[in-house]
């Protein structure tokens, strides 16, 4: 497993993508599908290394159970797809959106699929693509399923991304002082991350890269999804909750810490410690075979038993992969098992209006025997009181 923890920053080789395609085809065969249609840019990126974003000109990846996958894309974008894709594909080009009769996207797409075929489609497929898709449609998220357990290459890329954001988080803790504006924290950390990223991956893909940093000061940190405004100032004391993360050339990662500027106000120690106990239990339980909903239930119980049950606002954690938020979920309602090679965040939280928020989050790999934290920052309260 140690070997797995070597950072990788090179683009995927074709074999890597062929392996991913084979995983998807195994699932297609189990469901007796003749085709699978992918419109979700995240899934298309996973299989091909080509990143698009959804706009009015559709890109559609059509995977037959045998033979070469086909990419339906606009004339204008064909060379763009070819320069990025590292999976062998046939290109089926349409004229424009909209287009003269006979040359619209659906007019080149529909002849590719027989009306008698069994066609797997994503649950996020938009109605307008579904309406134009021939055959019997079976809604099944098999690419998402293939993405759950990471390959060695994906783990290496994630290790690289986690090293990067951990360094970014160090900068964040240096910059944050009482009075420092959100904008400065964001700008300084982002500048650092982008310079480092460009040095490591000179031809990084802009469409799957979005890194950032934020801190919610104690007057806001009770509201974990508050979107900070540029002129929001840091405050004395705490709890501040930091976050550095995003998508590093296609790999979603995060690190978050509860920290203090100068001193720890009264009444803060107890919720902080309860949060840390809940977190410790999550790490103890996060190993192969553990049921995700069970972890969430027991971690919540620690918080509830300490009297903070009505201060919980979210689940214990979520999966990471191409995005920073994806299946599986450490949540009541997700009864799947943890499997070696899964990447999850562990981040139970407590939120008290008038006091603030309490949450550490890390990007964590499930190993054969347990788990390993891929991000790195101080964890104990005494190490998180920044002198001002």
Among 205, 219, 277, 376, binds a second copy (CB under 8 A): 205
The residue among 4 and 339 lying less far from a second copy, judged by its C-beta, is 339
Pick from 341, 340, 351, 330: which is nearest to 282 by CA? 330
- CA distances 55 to 40, 109, 203, Å, are 12, 17, 23
Q: Is 83 in the site for a second copy (CB under 8 A)?
A: yes
Residue 149 or 327 having the CB closest to a second copy: 327
* Residue with the two structure tokens 């920073």: 324
147 lines the binding site for a second copy (CB under 8 A): no
Give the C-alpha separation, 188 to 181, whole Å: 11
- What DSSP assignment string belongs to 161-213? HHHHHHHHHHHHHHH--TT-BHHHHHHHHHHHHHHHHHHH-TT--GGG-EEEE
With CB under 8 A as the rule, give the number of residues binding a second copy.
Answer: 56
Contact mark string toward a second copy, 37..66, x via CB under 8 A: ------------------xx----------
Minimum separation from the CB atom of position 193 to a second copy (A): 13
Site residues for a second copy, window 156-195 (CB under 8 A)? 183
Q: Report the residue number, 184 or 372, with the smaller CB distance to a second copy.
A: 184
Q: Which region, judged by CB under 8 A, interacts with a second copy, from 110-118, 199-207, 262-270, 362-370?
A: 199-207
Q: Per CB under 8 A, does 332 bind a second copy?
A: yes
CA distance 256 to 253: 11
Instruction: For residue 144, give both structure tokens.
Output: 């998402």
| Least gap, CB of 2 to a second copy (angstroms) | 32
Binding mask 86-105 for a second copy (x = CB under 8 A): ----------xxxxxx--x-
Nearer to a second copy, 269 or 325 (CB): 325
In sequence order, the β-bridge partners of residue 251 are 248
Please tell me whether residue 4 binds a second copy under the rule CB under 8 A.
no
CB closer to a second copy, 104 vs 277 = 104
**Residue 307 DSSP symbol:** I
- 67 binds a second copy, rule: CB under 8 A: no
Stretch that binds a second copy, among 118-126, 169-177, 338-346, 372-380 (CB under 8 A): 118-126
In the complex, minimum distance from the CB of residue 270 to a second copy, in angstroms, rounded to a whole number: 23
| DSSP-based three-state secondary structure for 241 | strand
Per CB under 8 A, the list member of 84, 147, 169, 360 interacting with a second copy is 84
Place of tokens 């134009």: 132
Supply the DSSP string of 65-99, one letter for each residue: SSS--EEEEEGGGHHHHHHH--S--EEEEE--SS-
What is the Rg, in whole angstroms, of the alpha carbon atoms belonging to the chain? 23
CA–CA separation, 11 vs 136, rounded Å? 36
Closer residue to a second copy in complex, CB, 209/258: 209
Does the protein bind a second copy through residue 231 (CB under 8 A)? yes
Q: Which stretch binds a second copy (CB under 8 A): 202-210, 266-274, 362-370, 374-382?
A: 202-210
The C-alpha atoms of residue 344 and residue 337 are separated, in whole angstroms, by 12
**Interacting positions 245-304 with a second copy (CB under 8 A):** none
| 368 binds a second copy, rule: CB under 8 A | no
Residue found by looking up tokens 């990788």 in the block: 8
> Closer CB to a second copy, residue 252 or residue 370?
252
Residue number with CB closer to a second copy (271 or 349): 349
Measured in degrees and rounded to the nearest 5, phi and psi for residue 16 equal -60, -45
Stretch that binds a second copy, among 10-18, 160-168, 320-328, 357-365 (CB under 8 A): 320-328
Scan for tokens 């192969």, then name that residue. Answer: 288
Q: In angstroms, rounded to a whole number, what is the distance separating the alpha carbons of residues 217 and 203?
A: 36
Going across the sheet that includes 251-261, the strands are: 210-216, 237-248, 251-261, 385-386
- Residue 59 beta carbon to a second copy: minimum distance, rounded to whole angstroms: 12
Rounded Cα distance, 366 and 159, in Å:
13
Give residues in contact with a second copy (CB under 8 A): 55-56, 75-77, 79-80, 83-84, 96-101, 104, 121-128, 130-131, 139, 183, 198, 202-207, 223-227, 229-231, 313-315, 318, 323, 325-327, 329, 331-334
């Amino acid at each position: 497993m140690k070997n797995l923890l070597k950072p990788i920053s090179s683009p995927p080789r074709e074999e890597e993508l062929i392996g991913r395609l084979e995983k998807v085809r195994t699932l297609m065969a189990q469901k007796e599908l003749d085709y699978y249609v992918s419109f979700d840019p995240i899934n298309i990126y996973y299989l091909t290394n080509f990143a698009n974003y959804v706009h009015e000109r559709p890109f559609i990846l059509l995977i037959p159970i045998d033979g070469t996958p086909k990419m339906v894309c606009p004339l204008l974008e064909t060379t763009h797809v070819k320069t990025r894709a590292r999976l062998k594909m046939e290109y089926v080009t349409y004229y424009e959106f909209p287009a003269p009769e006979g040359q619209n996207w659906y007019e080149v797409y529909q002849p590719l699929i027989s009306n008698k075929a069994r066609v797997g489609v994503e649950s996020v497929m938009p109605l307008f693509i579904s309406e134009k898709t021939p055959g019997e449609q079976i809604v099944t998220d098999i690419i998402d399923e293939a993405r759950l357990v990471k390959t060695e290459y994906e783990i290496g890329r994630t290790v690289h991304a986690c090293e990067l954001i951990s360094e970014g988080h160090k900068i964040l803790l240096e910059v944050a002082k009482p009075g420092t504006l959100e904008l400065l924290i964001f700008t300084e950390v982002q500048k650092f991350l982008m310079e480092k990223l460009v040095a490591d991956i000179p031809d990084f893909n802009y469409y799957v890269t979005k890194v950032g940093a934020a801190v919610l000061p104690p007057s806001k940190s009770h509201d974990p999804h508050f979107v900070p405004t540029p002129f929001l100032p840091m405050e004395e004391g705490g709890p501040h909750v930091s976050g550095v993360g995003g998508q590093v050339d296609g790999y979603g990662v995060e690190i978050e810490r509860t920290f203090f500027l100068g001193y720890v106000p009264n009444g803060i120690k107890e919720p902080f410690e309860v949060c840390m106990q809940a977190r410790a239990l999550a790490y103890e339980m996060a190993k192969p075979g553990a049921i995700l909903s069970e972890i969430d239930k027991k971690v919540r119980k620690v918080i509830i038993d300490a009297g903070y049950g009505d201060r919980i606002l979210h689940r214990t954690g979520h999966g990471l992969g191409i995005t920073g938020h994806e299946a599986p979920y450490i949540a009541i309602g997700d009864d799947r098992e943890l499997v070696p090679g899964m990447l999850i965040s562990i981040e139970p939280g407590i939120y008290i209006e008038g006091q603030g928020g309490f949450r550490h989050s890390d990007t964590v790999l499930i190993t054969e025997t347990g788990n390993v934290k891929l991000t790195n920052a101080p964890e104990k309260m005494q190490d998180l009181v920044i002198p001002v």
